Structure 1
């Protein structure tokens, strides 16, 4: 039995309460580890350590902070296989996905923001009202709360810009998938990362997340997760006028036009629906297809879904792993039952797989309109719904139906149409003839129920700093 401890002030620590939570292997539904059940006492210790470490860390030259982030990236990259194996076991991910995509992206996050530390610059303005220049200073102690679906990928996406900007961090990873965040904390201790600059506190949201958000010493909160929890964080932070960045859910449309090269891109279309068993906020869970090619696309997607190989995450041939937890497994199965009640026709899948872990068959559903609950609420599983459209305006209306507005993809050879629709889609990000092709310099985030604020590149660095303008009269 492994034990995932807090990392506070440069040390691994047991929970102050002495309590632990079970951590489950999604592939067999058995507990394989324990994670610290943190509480307000652990949060207080971590915030105190961060507060003490902040002045020295903020006072370092930007290049020195960059070197520390590069050193952590080097150490992570050197142990990529161990981290990939841990991520695969902890989250039920196919080992190839963890090894080839997710852990390398965590390394890239650290390296990107190491570079950002030396390139991020303030503005100056001259000629209208004297000379003005803007200082951008780190906030102090900040909190990051990251989800279970991309455990190290999104953990580093938050801590890296916060550290690069000069803040001290108290990070709460998901208690469902705590392995790789803990390992990264231990790696930071091993390489001598300055004590107290990066602190990791495990535990449940009410016992750890809420005390973090409520603490007066925490100047900002960056959260990725469900819309409901994001709304709760916003409500707690509002009376304190605390900065929040909320990257929440998505119910993303994929618009496939008849003139697109969809047959050649079928692998990407299927991947956009089913990667990580659909447990990615950017997955294209609503496939909108021009009516003239609808039947062909429908049959092709069913064939691709049925060809996915559900198996042990450690098996190199596995392309579909289990869902992450019993609670999420139950939620997805309930959503499938609801889709049938609403009149949805299940073309393939729609059921649990007969094996030990939390496996759900890749599912394709048609016959549901834009107002159905199944097309409006996030399922976050290996489930895609199909809807035909007649023309550009119909496609746009279907795409913009609902409260979410995270991302969309448009598949067409007509670039005039693509740019016109991209401007009218009510989302934060649009891909044209591709999916999940990320430039880390670009803004990341959504509108409506998909969140508040933007992450990535200079947007993240601005979030984790305060702007102060200095005006000089030129007499």
Structure 2
């Protein structure tokens, strides 16, 4: 059985404890590899290596750093098929999705920040004829990056790319549920010639390895993507230590569909935004609000298309819905479907575990599920499910749908469908979410900031915001 190793000081190494934990293949429900059960000793070794590498890496010309990151991106492109297959096996998502989304976007992350660091501009202010003020930015030091299981390599590179481009060295922890692509990535870094200690990858569980990263006194910045409960715990540890924090947390995102929408585009994209990656994307539109004149037709057409989605082996190119990431998560999703029934919801399609004949008969598959008849304030509509489950509700006015949309403790993203430009601006301004898509979903320009409001997180990732996060600003004033 394959063993995954930590990547510390440029080498693949066993955990100090020599202990491993099981890594499950969710589509088959069986262990297929072993993960280091790392602890604070492994993190300490990684920090020591990162500190030793910091001076040379941060002092390297930005063009030299960028060239190394571009080589890593080239190797991701070269190994696209192998990385997509590994991610599908590790995560349960369709391999076809990993090939067109996860792995290409991981490569794009590396390329964007390699180029972005070269073109990053600081600020200069002329104070009349008296002085010139300009801002210098320097890397913060060793950055701690902790990434989630739903988009393993995509979100892993989303964090480490700007940190490395800014001149930081990194101690990173991928999710223990989906560690394989990060392990393969460490091999690509070695092949690309990334200097020893610049990036260190410590595998293991959150309470041990993750907590050790967060509380280490020589890691001044923490970037975390994951659940709101874990984010709250990280903030409780890091805030008294005055660490820089970027927390991208949960979402319960509204998808608002007005009667004047482009019908086919709204219907097809809403299907995608509901069930892509088995609904295991923090940006999925899990609450669909439809204007009353088109509500009945939308529900009928949406349910019909949902029933046509193929749930099956993630390695089959025809599969649209793969397995959920773990048995525990599958049970959580099914428990929320049961809760929806208890709260008076009508299950129009789905709602059950799926048994796939053959190699996947023990896998963690759940039917895409559509629910109506629920109040906007019930638990099903308030709590993050993170699975292939959506609710649909009618609305009459903009004021009403804004009340529904803003009723949850989350504020990550929202989608609005209308051909009325004035309405699009009004509703976008009224929705309390950090990311608003109008007549599209998951469209990303890496130059723009990314993040949520309320309990969906603090700070901003993406674009220049990410480069700023991993640097410290220093103002220089020169008297003329």
The bucket for the TM-score relative to the shorter chain is over 0.9
Give me the whole-angstrom Cα distance separating, in 2, the residues matched to 1:191 and 1:439. 27
Matched residue SS, 1:246: strand
Are the aligned partners of 1:65 and 1:117 in contact in 2 as well (CA < 8 Å)?
Answer: no
Task: Report the counterpart of residue 387 of structure 2 in structure 1.
Answer: 381
Once the two structures are overlaid, the 10-residue window that deviates more, 183-192 or 228-237, is 183-192
Are the aligned partners of 2:257 and 2:266 in contact in 1 as well (CA < 8 Å)?
Answer: no
TM-score normalised according to structure 1 size: 0.99
Once the two structures are overlaid, the 10-residue window that deviates more, 122-131 or 422-431, is 122-131
Q: How does 1:26-41 map to 2 (within 5 A)?
A: 26-41=26-41
Give me the whole-angstrom Cα distance separating, in 2, the residues matched to 1:44 and 1:127. 46
Q: How does 1:24-103 map to 2 (within 5 A)?
A: 24-103=24-103
**1:192-214 Cα shifts (integer Å, max 9, x gaps):** 21000000000011110111111
Task: Report the counterpart of residue 359 of structure 2 in structure 1.
Answer: none
Give me the whole-angstrom Cα distance separating, in 2, the residues matched to 1:276 and 1:325. 14
Task: Report the counterpart of residue 286 of structure 1 in structure 2.
Answer: 287
Tell me if 1:8 matches 2:12.
no
**1:334-364 Cα shifts (integer Å, max 9, x gaps):** 1111111111111101111123200000000
**1:208-245 Cα shifts (integer Å, max 9, x gaps):** 01111111100100000000000000000011010010
Tell me if 1:372 matches 2:378.
yes
Task: Report the counterpart of residue 171 of structure 1 in structure 2.
Answer: 172
Matched residue SS, 1:218: coil
Matched residue SS, 2:24: strand
Matched residue SS, 1:180: helix
Task: Report the counterpart of residue 210 of structure 1 in structure 2.
Answer: 211
Are the aligned partners of 2:266 and 2:417 in contact in 1 as well (CA < 8 Å)?
Answer: no
Give me the whole-angstrom Cα distance separating, in 2, the residues matched to 1:370 and 1:401. 8
**1:417-452 Cα shifts (integer Å, max 9, x gaps):** 001110111000100000001101111000001000
Shift of 1:191: 2.4
Give me the whole-angstrom Cα distance separating, in 2, the residues matched to 1:263 and 1:296. 12
Are the aligned partners of 1:409 and 1:433 in contact in 2 as well (CA < 8 Å)?
Answer: yes
Shift of 1:190: 2.0
Give me the whole-angstrom Cα distance separating, in 1, the residues matched to 2:447 and 2:409. 27
Give me the whole-angstrom Cα distance separating, in 2, the residues matched to 1:80 and 1:222. 26
Q: How does 1:253-292 map to 2 (within 5 A)?
A: 253-292=254-293
Task: Report the counterpart of residue 108 of structure 2 in structure 1.
Answer: 108
1:400 to 402, 406, 409: 406
Task: Report the counterpart of residue 340 of structure 1 in structure 2.
Answer: 341
Q: How does 1:71-470 map to 2 (within 5 A)?
A: 71-128=71-128, 130-355=131-356, 356-470=362-476
Give me the whole-angstrom Cα distance separating, in 1, the residues matched to 2:54 and 2:304. 55
Shift of 1:186: 1.1
Matched residue SS, 1:265: helix
**1:33-81 Cα shifts (integer Å, max 9, x gaps):** 1011100110000000000000000001111110010010011111111
Give me the whole-angstrom Cα distance separating, in 1, the residues matched to 2:190 and 2:5. 13
Are the aligned partners of 1:262 and 1:411 in contact in 2 as well (CA < 8 Å)?
Answer: no
Give me the whole-angstrom Cα distance separating, in 1, the residues matched to 2:429 and 2:364. 40
Matched residue SS, 2:263: coil
Give me the whole-angstrom Cα distance separating, in 1, the residues matched to 2:16 and 2:198. 20
**1:130-180 Cα shifts (integer Å, max 9, x gaps):** 210101000010100000000000000000000000000000000000000
Give me the whole-angstrom Cα distance separating, in 2, the residues matched to 1:391 and 1:403. 22
Give me the whole-angstrom Cα distance separating, in 2, the residues matched to 1:462 and 1:131. 22
Are the aligned partners of 1:256 and 1:262 in contact in 2 as well (CA < 8 Å)?
Answer: no
Matched residue SS, 2:365: coil
Shift of 1:454: 0.4
Are the aligned partners of 2:57 and 2:198 in contact in 1 as well (CA < 8 Å)?
Answer: yes
Give me the whole-angstrom Cα distance separating, in 2, the residues matched to 1:322 and 1:155. 21
Are the aligned partners of 2:382 and 2:409 in contact in 1 as well (CA < 8 Å)?
Answer: yes
Give me the whole-angstrom Cα distance separating, in 1, the residues matched to 2:254 and 2:118. 37
Give me the whole-angstrom Cα distance separating, in 2, the residues matched to 1:262 and 1:407. 21
Are the aligned partners of 1:363 and 1:384 in contact in 2 as well (CA < 8 Å)?
Answer: yes
From the superposition, tell whether residues 446 and 264 of structure 1 become closer, same or farther in structure 2 (CA, over 3 Å). closer
Q: How many residues align?
A: 474
Shift of 1:263: 2.5
Give me the whole-angstrom Cα distance separating, in 2, the residues matched to 1:192 and 1:295. 58
Matched residue SS, 1:156: helix
